[in-house]
Amino acid sequence: MMAPGVARGLYSALLYLLSPLIWWRVWREHALTNKRAERLALIADAADGPPTIWLHAASVGEVLAARPLIEALAERHADHHLVVTTMTATGAERVRALFPAERYALTHYFLPLDFPGAARRFIARLRPRLAIIVETELWPNLLATCERQHVPVVVANARLSDKAFQGYRKVAPLLRGALGAVSWLAAKSSADLERFTALGLAREHGEVVGSIKFDLPINAELRDEGERLHTQWGSRFVWVAGSTHEGEDEQVLAAHARLRRTHPQALLVLVPRHPQRFSAVAELCEARGERLARRSQGETPSAETSVLLGDTMGELMRFYAAADAAFVGGSLVPIGGHNLLEPAALGVPVLTGPHLENFQDIAETLREAQALCEVDAAEALGEALATLADDPDQRRRLGAAGEAVVAANRGALEKTLQGIAARLLTRSNA
């Protein structure tokens, strides 16, 4: 079997060969608030500042999942400087929106590309006391540099779908080397941990703690805002289709047309996953004959409005709080699903398509509690919505069951924080 070092050398050579294509992709994935030079780890040197905790959350989904962890780290380790990195511009925007500078002593950078020199420069300038990777993104050269510089690496909320596992098996020597740098992996489930150990994680470095996604911050202010929005939109059935993808919006609109045959006043709040698709989805709605209001333009749905396009960032939870039912996207197309717990935590009935590869454990937990309504296509989604619109008691039962599941599974955040504190202490005493 190929040695991990040899595999990483071949991987680095391939990165250099593909560097023009990689840089073109990075040139497009840009935020005006960040310099492109950050992709090569040209960042400020942290030598004179407080010790640093570095947390990486690839994109919007990981940032949202990590939100309670970041908030807790900022509170419990205020003597450290917290640096958060993302790969995507939308992830960067979420960090800025959720953690404003006036409230959080937090710095955001783009993660450098995984070239050996950039990885060495990033760790040398950042000098992290601890590295925390959220979910799965394991960059071989960055992790190898952490290992050489004796930086403990924690993988928080670690998950690995069976599909991803099968893909990673094809580059097993490379992953074995990357996982060899991990000090502690806090897995969402025993199945996730088994997959990581099969790829090379030392069993004693892994622990099942559950998903920190169950530790969603839900407060009275959010619920009040949802109630205010629903009142503003009128006494009609409101459903949200959140985090939808290309090829899925058409199915959602077909389901809405089916629902409106029996409930003509029903309102759909459609929230595409990616902001670059907002305009295209608006055009799609208008082409389908929907009476459209756009949130980004400050338009309030009237009695004649059939679709409110949620073309803003950071409002999905607010929309879920205002809903009578919620469909979670990425599931009627083969994306793997998105966070089913967001509407469930608010006591909103959850509907989903069949593609749930990224959330199998959470889906199974909701399924066992009879807190999940699963459909396979647009027609079935429309029929399920019509049934829920006619049956407030069923909506209350589904919503209460989902909320109870979230409440019963909280606690992974505290276990993760304890594991992080232990590794920080070990590092401080080294």
Q: What is the pLDDT of residues 258-296, one digit of tens each?
A: 999 999 999 999 999 998 999 999 999 999 999 999 999
Whether residue 383 lies in the annotated active site: no
Establish whether domains 4-13+24-210+411-429 and 220-408 are of one fold: yes
Angle, to 10 degrees, between the axis of helix 412-429 and the axis of helix 60-76? Answer: 60
Do 160 and 190 contact (CB within 8 A), yes or no? no
* 3-state SS assignment for residue 186: strand
d(CA 46, CA 319): 40
Angle, to 10 degrees, between the axis of helix 162-169 and the axis of helix 172-180? Answer: 110
Angle, to 10 degrees, between the axis of helix 60-76 and the axis of helix 89-98? Answer: 40
pLDDT of residue 34: 86
d(CA 84, CA 56): 6
Task: Give the residue carrying structure tokens 């150990």.
Answer: 197
pTM of the model: 0.79
pLDDT of residue 430: 59
* 3-state SS assignment for residue 328: strand
From 19, 163, 33, 14, select the one nearest 90 (Cα to Cα). 33
Work out the mean pLDDT of the chain and round it to a whole number. 94
Q: 188: which DSSP letter?
A: S
d(CA 382, CA 220): 31
pLDDT of residue 153: 97
Residue 147 is encoded by which pair of tokens?
């290992």
Residue range 220-408, CATH number: 3.40.50.2000
d(CA 197, CA 177): 12
Write out pLDDT tens, residues 189-227. 999 999 999 999 999 999 999 999 899 889 899 999 999
User: Which amino acid, one-letter code, is at 397?
Assistant: R
Domain regions of the chain by residue span = 4-13+24-210+411-429, 220-408
Percent of the chain at pLDDT above 90?
A: 82
Contacts of 13 (CB under 8 A, 6+ apart): none
| pLDDT level of residue 23 (50, 70, 90 thresholds) | confident
Write out pLDDT tens, residues 314-367. 899 999 999 999 999 999 999 999 999 999 999 999 999 999 988 888 999 999
pLDDT of residue 428: 63
| pLDDT level of residue 2 (50, 70, 90 thresholds) | confident
d(CA 407, CA 386): 28
The one catalytic residue in 62, 93, 135, 342 is: 62
Sheet strands side by side (includes 128-134): 106-110, 81-86, 52-56, 128-134, 153-158, 184-187, 206-208
Name the CATH topology of 4-13+24-210+411-429.
Answer: Rossmann fold (3.40.50)
From 174, 145, 169, 198, select the one nearest 5 (Cα to Cα). 174
pLDDT of residue 239: 98
352: left (phi over 0), alpha (psi -120 to 50) or beta: beta
> Where does 310-355 show beta strands of DSSP type E?
325-328, 350-352
Angle, to 10 degrees, between the axis of helix 172-180 and the axis of helix 190-199? Answer: 110
From 221, 301, 245, select the one nearest 269 (Cα to Cα). 301
Range list of H helices, 234-327: 249-262, 278-287, 316-321
- Count the neighbouring beta carbons within 10 Å of the beta carbon of residue 99: 19
Q: 297: which DSSP letter?
A: G
pLDDT at 145 over 70: yes
Q: Which stretch of DSSP H or E encloses residue 240? A: strand 238-244
In the predicted model, what is the mean pLDDT of residues 379-384?
98
Residue 32 is encoded by which pair of tokens?
């005006």
Contacts of 56 (CB under 8 A, 6+ apart): 84, 85, 86, 111, 131, 132, 133, 134, 137
- Count the neighbouring beta carbons within 10 Å of the beta carbon of residue 289: 10
d(CA 326, CA 78): 37
